[in-house]
Amino acid sequence: VKMAEEHSKFVIGFISGSRVSMKPEFLHLTPGVQLEAG
């Protein structure tokens, strides 16, 4: 996380089960979550 925060022009977010950074410029994506059935 520290490396990503230091290189925020290259890293846009994280795939994780919970929020790992409080900086609003990063996306947080949760694996295996579907918004629609199927």
Do residues 26 and 10 make contact, with C-beta atoms less than 8 angstroms apart? Answer: no
| Regions of the chain short of the pLDDT cut 50 | none
- The residues spanned by each domain of the chain are 1-32
How far is CA 26 from its chain centroid?
6
Predicted pLDDT at 35:
77
pLDDT at 6: 95
If you average pLDDT over every residue of the chain, what do you get?
91
By C-alpha distance, which of 24, 28, 20 is closest to 3?
20
